[in-house]
Amino acid sequence: MIRHPDWQKRLIAYLAQVRSLPFKTGKHDCTLFSAGCVAAMTGVDMARGLRGYRTPREGAKMLAAKGYADHVALIADQLEECPPLMAQAGDVAVIEPVSGLSVGIVQGAHIYVLSPAGVGLVPLTDAKRAFRVPHRHVGRAA
């Protein structure tokens, strides 16, 4: 999984498309929002086959059937972990609001997250874990 050369433009377009969609379990929740962001940047859908659940419990059962303890384990299996404060724009961050673990997308000193009103921001300092969405590495000739 590597970001497209124009990943920023793709991410901005995706965020504009979903920014005012209401939160809906199994359609537009934190896991699917983050997976959609990663898919926009890379073309790889981390949540392939994991949509359509109606309750968090159904979602957990779908994850368990694929061998994941939770949605963070799904992300950890596909992306390399990094220190939260080293996360860069487009990386995935894990926060822990009162309702349990949630995931969002890093943007500078903030994280895009879902709220009942749509996409919101929380400080990057709230991140408990973070995962890198790889960039294309360009080597230098010797």
Model confidence at 118, pLDDT cuts 50, 70, 90, reads confident
Tell whether the model's pLDDT for residue 138 goes beyond 60: no
How far apart, in whole angstroms, are the C-alpha atoms of residue 131 and residue 138?
21
Say whether pLDDT at 100 is over 80. no
Q: Residue 82: inside a domain, yes or no?
A: yes
Confirm whether 108 is domain-assigned.
yes
**Residue 71 sits in a domain of what CATH number?**
3.90.1720.10
User: For position 98, what pLDDT does the model report?
Assistant: 65
Q: Is residue 128 part of a domain?
A: yes
The reply to whether 140 falls in a domain is: no
In three-state secondary structure terms, 57 is helix
- Percent of the chain's residues with pLDDT above 90: 77
Question: Is 142 within the bounds of a domain?
Answer: no
| Cβ neighbours around 30 below 10 Å, total | 22
For position 141, what pLDDT does the model report?
46
Residue 139 lies in a domain: no
Q: Which residues constitute the domain of residue 23? A: 7-132
Task: State the pTM of this model.
Answer: 0.90
pLDDT-wise least confident of 14-23, 54-63, 113-122: 113-122
How many structural domains is the chain composed of?
A: 1
Decide if 130 contacts 84 (C-beta within 8 A).
Answer: yes
